[in-house]
């Protein structure tokens, strides 16, 4: 089925979004976290039952103009780690 996204709900420095099929059954959701500088810090992805599926964290290195993007599975095992130019 087609996935659609509900309007995000802002709560402090977090954005909650949920995904639904065309028959209104929940597919999953994610939470986006921002740091005190309003920069993306972490995204947690959850399945339809609320179980954590994957996390993406961003570690900024301003002195080097780089950001490290780390992807972890549901139990915290690192699946991918990349250093990306930033700014």
36-82 pLDDT, tens digit per residue, is 878 889 999 999 999 999 999 999 988 888 999 999 999 999 999 99
Residue 38 tokens, joined: 């309003």
pLDDT at 79: 97
1-49 pLDDT, tens digit per residue, is 434 444 454 445 888 999 999 999 999 999 999 888 788 899 999 999 9
pLDDT at 11: 47
SS (H, E, C) 17-79: EEEECCCCCEEEEEEEEECCCCCEEEEEEEECCCCEEEEEEEEEEHHHCEEEEEEEECCCCEE
């Amino acid at each position: 089925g087609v996935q659609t996204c509900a309007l995000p709900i802002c709560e402090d420095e977090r954005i909650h979004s949920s995904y639904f099929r065309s028959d209104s059954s929940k597919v999953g959701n994610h939470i986006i976290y921002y740091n005190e500088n309003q920069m993306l810090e972490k995204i947690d992805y959850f399945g339809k039952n609320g179980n954590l599926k994957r996390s993406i964290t961003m570690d900024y290195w301003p002195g080097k103009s780089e950001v490290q993007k780390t992807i972890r599975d549901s139990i915290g095992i690192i699946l991918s780690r990349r250093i990306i130019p930033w700014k």
